[in-house]
Chain A
Amino acid sequence: MSIIKSKTLLYRNFGDPQKVLELTEVEVSTTPGDGEVLVEWLASPINPLDINRIMGQYIIKGDPPIIGGSEGIGRVVKTGPNSKFHINDHVTIFSSETPFWTEFGIVSDDELQKIDNRISIDLAATIMVNPPTAWLMIHKYVKLSKGDFIIQNSANSGVGRSCIEIAKAAGFKTINIVRNRENIEELKTELWKLGADHVFTEEEFAKGAREFIKTLPSRPKLALNGVGGRSVLQISSVLERGGMCITYGGMSKKAHEFSTSALVFNDITVKGIAVGMWARLPESQKDWAECLEEVQKLAVSGEITAIPMEKTSLDDYRKAFGKAMGQGRSVKQLFVIKNEAAGNAKI
């Protein structure tokens, strides 16, 4: 049985990622067993979740040493007996505790999800959480017709951008709320280019919402919330009677607020979604399979695109974490672990 050295970013203690992370090498067998494959990891982002996990602040802690990563894309380089995968298949693992920040790994078929090879590596590395969250919220809660309005806060986030694209692909209109910032006009233009119909800062919307909503042919039926606090009060209060507000995050770390009269007199429903938990329930399997198929179709057709990310390498992890954890807004960091075009000399 031959062994290869796999460059790996791992941590042996919980704490500040820049201090506890360690770039090292682990040994990986190049002989996958029955129903297993050898995967070469291509790319994996640094998500906020990764930082929480490394700091020991996530619900599931795990036992160090732990190889980092929560999302990513790889390529099958060797298949074991009876594996259903083929060499060069693009694959990912749908789990928040998965060792992506390493060059190679042996993974069993059961854990792997095939991803269409035509999808760019950037998008494929971030396709299992944000776009499905957006797709499910838009397609599985409220029956919308073409031309119906969706309102969302956090429109600039990964999920927010996916919502803009997925709504546009389905013929729904989006009203997008973002926080004010220096380059606000640039951001608005960027979101318009993605397909946003209306973009407002929180302050603009607070001032002009009433008048603006009156100009619409119908009020929004769906509100999508990644922020909480007053921001969700703002978007849920303009919903159509019987409308739905779905929460997928609470970035403001404030309690989610809803107006009593929207609930009582306007009959809105408030729900939440955590795709990582939902997708593992037996009763979700049919919808989850449909969601992954539809999201990949949209990715292949170019109707959903990768969010802006800065490419980096495992070697530069300190710098990458410095940016990922830095003050102010920084672009998401993506570890490019292997440049696929370069081929593989090691095996």
Chain B
Amino acid sequence: MFKSFSTVTIARRCISARQLVYEGYGNPPEAIQLKTIEIPDKLNSEQVLVKWIAAPINPADLNQIQGVYPVKPKLPAVGGNEGFGRVEQIGSGVKGLKVGDFVIPNKSGLGTWRELGVHGENDVFPIDNELPLEYAAVFQVNPPTAYRMLKDFIDLKPGDTVIQNGANSAVGKQVIQICRILGVKTVNVVRNRENLSDLVAELTKLGATDVITEEDLYGRKKKFKGVKLALNCVGGRSSLFLASVLDHGGSMVTYGGMSKQPVQSPTGPLIFKDISLRGFWMSRWYDIQKTPQKRLEMYSDLAKWMKSGEMAKQDFVEKSINQHSAALDEAQTKFDKKQLFVLG
């Protein structure tokens, strides 16, 4: 008897995709490698396939690769914590997302420097589908950081004043614009530089009420009244003077420490003016939300302001995934413009 066997080949179709991976901590341009992987196109019921469109290089990404950031993904890991993509396929049990949705990582550590990713439905979060790429790629960190710091510490009223150092940083510029939209005045402290008048013009155009140098601040050349909130990403002497101009009951919120000096405050404002010093970390805010309510409200406000042009687009240097080592190198050495991987 002749028995015929039917040969069953488990022909699982795969898609190949490139991604930027680090297997150990180190100097980012060397630690990051371009790898091509095969992605099965069959999804589990709770999964989505995301085609990543654009992802920036942020300082936190670099720190993470260096191994000095508090959030440490399991290695090997795909680099990048921010960016946006489009949902290409959804698993049978996915309810909150549909094909075509724009999504960003739900929290940091996802790995966004990749062409394609299979993610759990809850690992990504939908954003406005009509956002232009320049907004969507950097939607998750800086605009929300500015937004939350202006909303969560002091109940700001139109006419109140916010003072900030590092006013020229990405968050600083978002702060200026959101304050302008909310009718809140801003005093913006920047470091003196050759082309100061250009910078003053740029920040004024975004809506800055005042732009002063650190020397102006230390010299107390100008008095500012009604300062309820100070935003500090510098530390050291700059934070000392920020704290000292706060009104009674005001708050200084620290979100960075560019000078690498401790945050400082004089005694007087702390004990006689009842000021408080706080800190803000966007990743933790995302982590501790029990419902998406506040996040949806915030995203809706921000998307509205972006689409109407009330908030300006950020400038980038666009790079392809192949140019990773140049991009990472420039991200560590040139701070004027953010590096953006355009992935697809």
Closest B residue to A274 by beta carbon equals B271
Q: Does A87 contact B (CB under 8 A)?
A: no
The residue in chain B whose Cβ has the minimal distance to the Cβ of A277 is B272
A sample of 4 more A-B contacts (CB under 8 A), given A256-B267, A268-B279, is A264-B255, A267-B281, A271-B277, A272-B275
Flag if A270 contacts B281 (CB, 8 Å). no
In the assembled complex, B270 has its CB within 8 A of some CB on chain A: yes
Once the chains bind, are B278 and A260 in contact (CB under 8 Å)? no
What separation, in Å, do the CA atoms of A207 and B235 have in the docked complex?
Answer: 25
B interface size (C-beta, 8 A): 26
B residues within 8 A CB of A264?
254-257, 279-281
Interface digits, B270-302 against A, CB 8 Å rule (1 contact, 0 not)?
111011111111001000000000000000000
- Report if B262 contacts A (CB, 8 A): yes
* A270 pairs with B256, CB closer than 8 A: no
Judge if B265 is at the interface, Cβ distance under 8 Å: yes
Asked whether any CB of chain B lies closer than 8 Å to the CB of A259, the reply is yes
Instruction: Give 9 CB contacts A-B under 8 Å.
Output: A255-B264, A255-B266, A256-B264, A256-B265, A263-B279, A264-B280, A265-B281, A271-B276, A274-B272
Q: Are B254 and A257 in contact (CB under 8 A)?
A: no
Judged by a CB distance under 8 angstroms, whether B212 is at the interface is no
- The distance from the CB of B272 to the nearest CB of chain A, in whole angstroms, is 5
Which listed residue, A233, A249, A269, touches B262 by the CB 8 Å rule? A233
Bound Cα distance from A233 to B262, whole angstroms: 8
Q: What are the residues of chain A within 8 A of B235 when measuring CB–CB?
A: 260
B263, CB-defined interface residue at 8 Å = yes
Whether, in the assembled complex, A273 has its beta carbon less than 8 Å from a beta carbon of chain B, the answer is yes
Contacts of A222 in B (CB 8 A): none
If the complex has contacts A264-B280, A265-B279, A270-B277, are A258 and B262 also in contact, measured as CB distance less than 8 A?
yes
Least CB distance, B69 to chain A, in whole angstroms: 9
Tell me which residues across on chain B come within 8 A of A247, comparing CB atoms. Answer: 267, 270-271
**Is B70 engaged at the interface, CB distance under 8 Å to the other chain?**
yes
- Say if the beta carbon of B240 comes within 8 Å of chain A: yes
**Using an 8 Å CB-CB cutoff, how does the interface string of B234-245 with A read, 1 for contact, 0 for none?**
010000100000
Q: Does the CB pair A272–B279 fall under 8 Å?
A: no
A270 cross-chain contacts in B, Cβ below 8 A? 265, 270, 276-278
* Complex interface: chain A residues within 8 A of B271 (CB): 247-250, 272-274
For A245, the closest partner residue in chain B by CB is: B277
A257 interface neighbour in B262, B281, B284, Cβ under 8 Å: B262
In the complex, what residues of B have CB within 8 A of residue A259's CB?
262-263
CB-nearest residue of chain B to A253: B267
Shortest CB–CB separation between residue A240 and chain B, in angstroms?
14
Which residues 86-145 of B sit at the A interface, judged by CB distance below 8 A? none
B277 engages A258 (CB within 8 Å) = yes
Among A255, A260, A267, which residue has its beta carbon within 8 angstroms of that of B240? A255
Known: A247-B271, A272-B275. A257 touches B280 (CB 8 A): no
Partner of B270, one of A256, A260, A267: A256
Within A219-277, which residues are at the interface with B (CB < 8 Å)?
228, 233, 247-250, 255-274, 277
Q: Which residues of B contact A255 (CB under 8 A)?
A: 240, 264-266
Q: How far apart are the CA atoms of A265 and B235 in the complex, in Å?
A: 15
Which residue of chain A is the closest to B237 with respect to CB atoms?
A255
**How distant is the Cα of A249 from the Cα of B276 in the complex, in angstroms?**
15
The residue of chain A having its C-beta at the shortest distance from the C-beta of B69 within the complex is: A265
A residues near B254, Cβ cutoff 8 Å: 260, 263-264
Chain A nearest Cβ from B270, distance in angstroms? 3
Residues of A within 8 Å of B270, CB to CB, are: 247, 256, 270-272
What A residues does B262 contact at CB under 8 A? Answer: 233, 257-260
Contacts of B257 in A (CB 8 A): 260-261, 264
